[in-house]
Every structure is written in structure tokens, then in C-alpha cells.
Amino acid sequence: MVTTTGFSVLARLVGKAGGVEDLRVAEYPGPLGIHDGETIARNVEHALIDKIVVGLTQPAAGSSGVLSTTSDPSKAVFAGTEDEVNRYFNAQDWSDGLPFVPPTIARVAQFLQFTDRAPDEAVAVLASANLRATPRNVAANAVMAGCRPEHMPLILAAVEALGDERASLNNLGSSSGIFPFVLVNGPIVQQLGINPGAQLVSRAPNPAIGRAIGLVIHNIAGFRPGASYMGTFGYPLAFALAEHPDSPWEPFHVENGFSADTNTVTIGVTNNWGSAPAPYDTPTQSGAKTALDLLCKEITQKTRLFHFPGRGPNAEHVMITLLLSPPVAQSLAAAGYSKQDVKRYVHEHTRMRLADFEWVLKYTNIFPTTAHERVEAGVFPAEFLGAPDALVQVVSSADILHIVVCGDPHRNRVMVLEGGHTRPTSKEVRLPKNWDTLLQQTPG
């Protein structure tokens, strides 16, 4: 494998996950993407070729970055005070760097009461480390995150979703900074007090649930910052949200084939958590129309714009999640728009000059190419062969747009989350047979 500086450990971990224990790696020095042709030629000749020859002709020095495991997952790995446990776990790189709740055997046992699965049953095998996620090790991470025992069924469903090939977890470590989020739907939202309203990402218990997924990805999937989690500027913590009951439309899980009384967890990903513009009525158009046009404008500002028009088997998987506060959704519904109408409008009206899109392709894409080349490859439609000033449709399909109504019920805000490599992946929450009894016995 030929890599650039900083990616050698990742290459070895991917090799190990694919069954190649001692993958030979030759590292090109520096950031290839900004080197000119002369610098590239010099680095290849004087630094890279010799490494390739060594990799092909000499015995491997051994792999690195292998995650440690214990022989008996039911046994304690360390005994000490809470501060000592935190220091030990941090030294082993088992934490996200923040203080955590020590996952004692007793605490893990409390969480295991909230599932009918056997403690060491395989819930999923998570790339890229290809380790088994079990109720026991999932519970340990949920305890560390500050979750409550009754959150266990949600966390297990989310882990199942992470293990689904549609989630494409093995691609999460992109240097563009992709990170996951968790969407909860169904009666369990109200039952467990999952926050669908104002500041929902920041208000308990949502942060703990998001953090649990981040720790599972860190400790079981093996995504370690700087080794296999390669975000150039790092990653925010994974977050959790729920749909607001004041939505005028059917909720996300019903739209995707589940009954309204089914509890579901959906894993999505995004590259951003950013601008939340507010649409208003103006003398020339309604707030609903302004909201639609704002969504279209926001999409053209996103990192992965160069992938949005792609279609067909060779296209990059893309997901765009539109977060609408309840007042915005209600104004759209009052104007006669269904969820599908909103998606169709955004799909059809998100347009930009071909010359501007070509600039994005050339200067922000990790693999620079032209629109013409992508048309020839069958990834872009023929309209991308037009004149520089022609307007092109940059969202390939309404199907890559997903709407979640959530947030402050007194604010008119929207947000566009975009991510690559994956599709939203939903799983039903499997409650234990004695769920109601357990909840009644749970303090608080």
C-alpha cells in the first residue's frame, strides 16, 4: 500500500481487517494534494521508490495499532479509585478524553438487565477493527458515556445499525471529518424523555446517548484519532436527536416503512454542524417559500457538493438531512407542502452555474476531475456538458434528501447536514419482555 504522511497506521489496520496481517506500506512524504508536479516527482524518486522496493523485497517489521483485548470480558481489567480508573483508561486509549463513569461489573450488570440477549452474543461485527459488539462491551461503553440502564435497548439498536453494510462504517474515518448521529423515533421518545425540542442535541439524556455511540465506534469499531479516524481538524462528539411531536407530517420512521408505534433508531452521518438560517415572510414571498429557497441555497455551500449530482452504480453514496424546526414545518404544511413536496422542490430547484460547479470539482475534490469526465463515466447527467453559464441541477434525486422535524418549537430555523459514503440505516428497538416492570423499578 502506498500512503501519504500520517496514513500508514490506518493502512495497516485496514489490511488487518481485510485479513492481511503484515501489510507492507510505503509512505509518500507530506500533503500530496498541494504539491506541484516537480515536488511530487522528486519525492517519488528520492523518498518513495526505495520504500516500495523494501516493502516488496524484505520481511515485514510487524504491524502496529492492534487493539488490545482481554481474555475474559466478564472480569475487571483494573481496580482503583475513580480518578485512577480514568487515568488508566485514558492511558490505554479507551476513552474519548473526557471524564467518564467507570464501567464496574455491577453497573454493566444493571444495563444487561435491559436486554434479553445473552451478554456475549454478537450484536454486530464493526469495521474497521472487525471486533464483535456484544451486550456486555456495548453496556460498558454506555456506562462510560453516562447513559442510564433503560437506554440500553436504544444503544443496542444503534449498534446493529452501525453493523449494517448500508451504514458503510468502514468509511467513517475520512479526513473530511465525517461523524455519526442517532435519530430516535417511536413511543420510546416520550417514555424515556429523549429530547425532541429546544437545544435537543445539548440537553439530557441526548448527549449521553450520542457519546455512547462515539465510544462504541472508538473502542469496538476501532476508530482512533490519528490512526484510523483521520479528520483533519478532528471530530465533534456524536450526537442524538428525536423528532418533535408537533410535526405536521408523518415521522421519519413511518415514512421509511415502520408503524407509528414501533420504536426505531436510525444512524446517519454528517460532515458539519453549522449554520441554522431563519426564513421570514417578505413583501415578495411567504416564509414557507423562503424556507425552501434557503434549503436550496444551503445545499450548494456544502463540502461534498461535488458528489451530490452523482447517480448510477459508480456514484458516491450521499445523504442530505434537512432539520426543520416545528414552526418551519408547520408553515410549509399550511402552504400545502407534504414532506415529498419539499423534497421534490429542493431536488428540482437546487441549481448553480456550471462554471461555479466546475470550480468546486477542480479545487475542492480530493480527486480532481471535470464534469465532462464524469458524464463520460456515467456518473453525471448530460446537462453537465452545457455552457459555463447554464444552470445545472446539483441534487441527483429527492431520495437522497431526508427530513427530520425537531428543535425549538418557538423558532423558525433550518439546518442542512450532509455526509458521504453512507445511507441512513434504521433498526427496530428490541425491548426486553419485562420492559414495563423494569421501568417501574428504575429510580428517577
pLDDT digits (tens, 9 = 90+) for 391-404: 999 999 999 999 99
Q: How confident is the model at residue 64 (pLDDT cuts 50, 70, 90)?
A: very low
> Count of alpha carbons within 13 Å of 200, Cβ hemisphere only?
26
Instruction: Give the angle 295-377-357 at the CA atoms, nearest 5°.
Output: 35
User: pLDDT band at 257, cuts 50/70/90?
Assistant: very high
139 and 111 in contact (C-beta within 8 Å)?
A: yes
Is pLDDT above 80 for 368? no
Among 218-227, 241-250, 292-301, 394-403, where is mean pLDDT lowest?
A: 218-227
Give the whole-number percent of the chain exceeding pLDDT 90.
64
Q: Are 310 and 420 in contact (CB under 8 A)?
A: no
Segment 174-183 shows an average pLDDT of: 86
Angle between the N-to-C axes of helices 206-219 and 152-163, in degrees from 0 to 180, rounded to the nearest 10 = 40
| CA distance readout (Å), 351 to 303, 382, 384 | 16, 15, 12
Beta strands 318-324 and 414-420: pairing type?
antiparallel
When pLDDT is averaged across residues 220-245 and rounded to a whole number, the result is 86
- d(CA 210, CA 230) in angstroms, rounded, equals 20
C-alpha cell at 112: 444487561
Identify residue 123 by its one-letter amino acid code. Answer: V
Q: pLDDT band for position 65 (50/70/90)?
A: very low
Query: Considering the entire predicted model, what is its pTM?
Result: 0.88
> Measured between alpha carbons, how far is residue 324 from residues 385, 398, 439 in Å?
34, 16, 32
Q: What is the pLDDT of residue 92?
A: 92
Examine the pLDDT at 285 and tell me if it is beyond 80: yes
DSSP H stretches of helix in 146-286: 152-163, 188-191, 206-219, 252-255
Q: What is the pLDDT of residues 24-38, one digit of tens each?
A: 888 888 887 788 888
DSSP state of 123: S
The DSSP bridge partners found for residue 420 are: 318
Does residue 411 surpass a pLDDT of 90? Answer: yes
Average pLDDT of the residues in 94-121? 96
Distance CA 296, CA 279 (A): 12
